Chains A and B, each alone.
Chain A
Amino acid sequence: DAKTTQPNSMESNEEEPVHLPCNHSTISGTDYIHWYRQLPSQGPEYVIHGLTSNVNNRMASLAIAEDRKSSTLILHRATLRDAAVYYCILRASGGSNYKLTFGKGTLLTVNP
């Protein structure tokens, strides 16, 4: 599986935007970029995913670099409930293997 690199931790203030970076320089043309987050003592939660174009949903935005070697998850206004570990994962399309390989992710701390 192609690998992703994320900062170990980031800190933000409540109600401010947060930009979580992810590098994936070995991404292949058919890899989707998925983001999940895990709150303490819970299973992961799907946040957003994309292939080439920027994506928006009710939770966040995903900005994908033109060369697709990096992406940024954007939380427009951080709340205390957004404090979690955020995982950036590449997932191959096609075939029958839909598994996700989790790295260490970024621990986001939100200050009140």
Chain B
Amino acid sequence: GAVVSQHPSWVICKSGTSVKIECRSLDFQATTMFWYRQFPKQSLMLMATSNEGSKATYEQGVEKDKFLINHASLTLSTLTVTSAHPEDSSFYICSATKSYSNQPQHFGDGTRLSIL
């Protein structure tokens, strides 16, 4: 159980394009979802915390107008990278958790974004 699906797995697009990444919890209701970014040879960096029905909480240094997060239901959160540029190329990973603090997070397989 506790499967998180992330789509697409990889995307290549031109500079200036907006890209949407979906994160779905398939077999449980996720009151909280998280979005991370990981550059090569580095650890995961939390970008934002997304709670269903409310605005996302962004980490310091993450532009909320650049990385739009929508958590419209208990099973779906989306991250839109607006007007993407080559420096936005990275591995984006989502996770989902139930509403209990000692419950683990369940991660998607990530989306590799390459901006040309």
Q: Is A21 an interface residue (CB 8 A)?
A: no
Q: Is B107 an interface residue (CB 8 A)?
A: yes
Contact status A51-B102, CB under 8 Å: yes
Interface range on chain A: under 10, 10 to 19, 20 to 34, or 35 or more?
20 to 34
Contacts of A46 in B (CB 8 A): 104-107
What is the bound-complex CA distance between A104 and B45, given in angstroms? 11
Looking at B13-21, B61-69, B73-81, B93-101, the stretch in contact with chain A turns out to be B93-101
Q: Is B25 an interface residue (CB 8 A)?
A: no
CB nearest neighbor in A for B46: A99
With A41-B110, A102-B44: A34-B49 Cβ-Cβ less than 8 Å: no
Number of B interface residues, CB 8 Å?
A: 26
Contact status A99-B34, CB under 8 Å: yes
Q: Which of B32, B107, B112 has the most CB of A within 10 A?
A: B107
Q: Is B52 an interface residue (CB 8 A)?
A: no
1/0 contact string of A15-46 vs chain B (CB within 8 Å): 00000000000000000101010100111111
Q: Is A68 an interface residue (CB 8 A)?
A: no
Contact status B43-A43, CB under 8 Å: no
Q: Is A7 an interface residue (CB 8 A)?
A: no
Contacts of B91 in A (CB 8 A): 41
CB nearest neighbor in B for A45: B107
- Point out residues on B near A: beta carbons under 8 Å: 4, 6, 32, 34, 36, 43-46, 49, 91, 93-95, 97, 101-110, 112
**Can you name 15 extra interface pairs (CB under 8 A) apart from A98-B105, A99-B34?**
A32-B102, A41-B112, A43-B6, A43-B110, A46-B104, A49-B104, A91-B101, A93-B102, A97-B49, A98-B32, A98-B101, A100-B46, A101-B46, A102-B36, A102-B44
Please list 29 pairs of residues, one from A and one from B, whose beta carbons are closer than 8 Å in the complex, sorted by A's number.
Answer: A32-B102, A34-B104, A36-B104, A38-B44, A41-B110, A42-B110, A43-B6, A43-B93, A43-B107, A43-B108, A43-B109, A44-B44, A44-B95, A44-B107, A45-B107, A46-B106, A49-B102, A87-B43, A91-B102, A93-B101, A97-B49, A98-B32, A98-B101, A98-B103, A99-B49, A100-B46, A100-B95, A100-B105, A105-B43
